[in-house]
Structure 1
Amino acid sequence: MTTERDDPIFVISVVARMVGVHAQTLRYYERAGLIEPSRSEGNRRYYSQGDLERLRRIKTLIDDMGVNLAGAEIALRLMDRVHELEQEVAQLRLDLQRLADRTPPALGDGRQT
């Protein structure tokens, strides 16, 4: 499922300015597998709002927290996994609520007197 957050709208020069890094740094992050911008038919990179948020997290990890590139990659993978698990938990809660809504209330507590 794609959202507006996933729409590729920013070119590399704009993203570099917004994040505060050189365009070459963005290309390096891409080669390192930290980011995967969309490509046009002409092979031009386009970044989404989600890419921009991820790049800001990378910059914070490296510049503000002193994490190296390998550490940033691990941290990002962990953040991605936490996000996936949060989505799974939210879906399970919805499923549980739907099930509870369909289940008739119990008659008594099941014990005989």
Structure 2
Amino acid sequence: MSGGFGAPSPDAAVYVISVAAELTGLHPQTLRAYERMGLIQPGRTGGGGRRYSHRDLERLREIADLTRAGIGIEGVRRIMELELQVDALRARNEELLAELEAVRHGLAARAAVNQPANKLPVLHRGPGQSVVVWRRPR
């Protein structure tokens, strides 16, 4: 839990299996089966009891929606893997856009004070993944 008496973070493992089952509309055995299949990884207490987070409950609801739509467990697993990849790619894209913006800002500042541009060669990928080095004329 974060400080104070606020709501727990979405990743705080606070729900016992019976509560998680009731909140998701799934049977506790289904939750255990999904864990065995690797679709969900609840937290554990010192005594080994399962504890589910709000994020776990959202994932369980998504699994239930997909299976209700007729998608098999292996399809669900693949969809969830792809969603994680998409999320990672989106985050990386945001990082690269921020980096590009910083470089553009730096180039604009350099041009404003009339400093020489970067003399490093420009790299281009050619066919077959070979690297072609082009040098800017001086």
User: Shorter chain as normaliser: what TM range?
Assistant: 0.7 to 0.9
Matched, 1:60 2:61: no
Match of 1:74 in 2: 78
Match of 2:9 in 1: 4
TM-score by length of 1: 0.83
Matched, 1:17 2:19: no
Q: Distance in 2 between matches of 1:50 and 1:99?
A: 36
Deviations 1:7-55 (A, max 9, x none): 1111111111111110000000000000001111110111111111111
Q: Distance in 2 between matches of 1:5 and 1:83?
A: 17
Map 1:1-113 → 2, pairs under 5 A = 4-63=9-68, 65-103=69-107, 104=109, 106=111
TM-score by length of 2: 0.69
Which structure has more relative contact order (CA 8 Å, sep 6+)? It is 1
Q: Percent identity, aligned pairs only?
A: 38
Structure with the largest fraction of helix? 1
Number of residue pairs the alignment of both structures matches = 106
Rg comparison, structure with higher value? 2
5+ residue gaps, structure 1: none
5+ residue gaps, structure 2: 1-7, 118-138
RMSD after superposition? 2.0
